[in-house]
Amino acid sequence: MTYSQRAKQIFEEEIEELHKLGATIDSNFDKAIDLIQNCRGKLVVMGIGKTGIIGHKIASSLASTGTPAVFVNAAEAVHGDLGIVNGKDIVLLVSNSGSSSEILNVIEPVRKLGCSIIAMTGDISSRLAKESDVVVSIHVDKEACPLGLAPTTSTTATVLMGDALMICLMEKNHFKAENFAVYHPGGALGRQLLGKVKNLMTTNIPRVMVDASFKELVHEMSDKHLGMTMVYDEKKCIGIITDGDLRRAIQKYDDLHIVARDIMTPSYKHIHKDALLSDALAIMDRYNITTLAVTEKPDTEEIIGIISIHHIIDFN
Q: What would the pLDDT profile of 45-102 be if each residue is shown by its tens digit?
A: 999 999 999 999 999 999 888 899 999 999 999 888 899 999 999 999 999 999 999 9
**Under a CB-based contact definition with an 8 Å cutoff, are residues 59 and 74 in contact?**
no
**Among 153-167, 225-239, 245-259, which range has the highest average pLDDT?**
153-167
**Under a CB-based contact definition with an 8 Å cutoff, are residues 67 and 165 in contact?**
no
Delimit the CATH 3.10.580.10 region(s) of the chain.
193-313
Local confidence band at 280 (pLDDT 50, 70, 90 cut-offs): confident
Local confidence band at 132 (pLDDT 50, 70, 90 cut-offs): very high
Half-sphere exposure of 57 (CA within 13 A, CB side): 15
Residue 174 to residue 39: CA distance in whole angstroms: 16
Percentage of the chain with pLDDT > 90?
64
With a cut of 50, say whether residue 316 has pLDDT above it: no
Nearest CA-CA partner of 45 in 159, 141, 148: 159
Task: Specify the range with the lowest mean pLDDT, choosing from 3-12, 13-22, 153-162, 256-265.
Answer: 256-265
Give the Cα-Cα-Cα angle 37, 282, 313 (nearest 5 degrees).
95
- pTM for the structure as a whole: 0.64
With a cut of 70, say whether residue 44 has pLDDT above it: yes
**Among 101-105, 170-174, 245-249, which range has the highest average pLDDT?**
101-105
Start-to-end CA distance of the chain, whole Å, equals 37
Per-residue model confidence (pLDDT) at position 106: 96
With a cut of 70, say whether residue 287 has pLDDT above it: yes
Beta pairing partners, 35: none
Residue 315 to residue 191: CA distance in whole angstroms: 12
What would the pLDDT profile of 155-201 be if each residue is shown by its tens digit? 999 999 999 999 999 999 887 765 665 555 555 555 555 678 898 89
With a cut of 70, say whether residue 252 has pLDDT above it: yes
Domain 193-313 bears CATH identifier 3.10.580.10: yes
Query: What's the CATH architecture for 3-175?
Result: 3-Layer(aba) Sandwich (3.40)
Task: Specify the range with the lowest mean pLDDT, choosing from 24-28, 80-84, 142-146, 194-198.
Answer: 194-198
Per-residue model confidence (pLDDT) at position 276: 84
**Under a CB-based contact definition with an 8 Å cutoff, are residues 47 and 95 in contact?**
yes
Delimit the CATH 3.40.50.10490 region(s) of the chain.
3-175
Average pLDDT estimate for 38-48 = 95
Per-residue model confidence (pLDDT) at position 184: 54
Per-residue model confidence (pLDDT) at position 254: 77
**Under a CB-based contact definition with an 8 Å cutoff, are residues 93 and 104 in contact?**
no
Nearest CA-CA partner of 237 in 201, 266, 196: 266
Percentage of the chain with pLDDT > 70?
93
Nearest CA-CA partner of 280 in 221, 202, 196: 196
The rounded mean pLDDT for the chain is 89
Q: In what order do the strands lie in the sheet with 303-308?
A: 270-272, 291-295, 303-308
Average pLDDT estimate for 104-108 = 96
